Amino acid sequence: MDIVEAIRRIDPSVSATVKNDEYDTIEWLKGGPIPKEQIDAEIVKLKAEWESKQYQRDRGTAYPEIKEQLDLLYHDMTAGKGDKTGEWYKAVNKVKTDNPKPE
């Protein structure tokens, strides 16, 4: 997570540029400055939020392509399997089971 994103989350009216994502290089363009401790705390929150959604990124790459899902749905509907017995449901359910949402 970068400093600029943390600044944006703390106060959207503040704008700044940063080199190498280092606090000492911040150039406050509008508003600010925001204390380093406040920015660091926001970065910790941003990292926790990012990590808590890892399952979503894992699922996104594991799901079959949309065109394949649509084909599975078509064949399930044609076969009267628009329920949990269908191949589309089985494919999507496997991804969700393999990549559970954290409690």
- Using alpha carbons, list the distances in angstroms from residue 78 to 47, 52, 71: 45, 39, 11
Tell me the percentage of the chain whose pLDDT exceeds 90. 83
Whether pLDDT at 51 is above 90: yes
Closest by alpha carbon to 1, among 51, 34, 54, 43?
43
Ranked by mean pLDDT, the top range of 2-11, 12-21, 22-31, 63-72 is 63-72
Say if residue 58's pLDDT is above 80. Answer: yes
In the predicted structure, residue 1 carries a pLDDT above the cut 80: no
pLDDT of 84-99, one tens digit each? 999 999 999 999 999 9
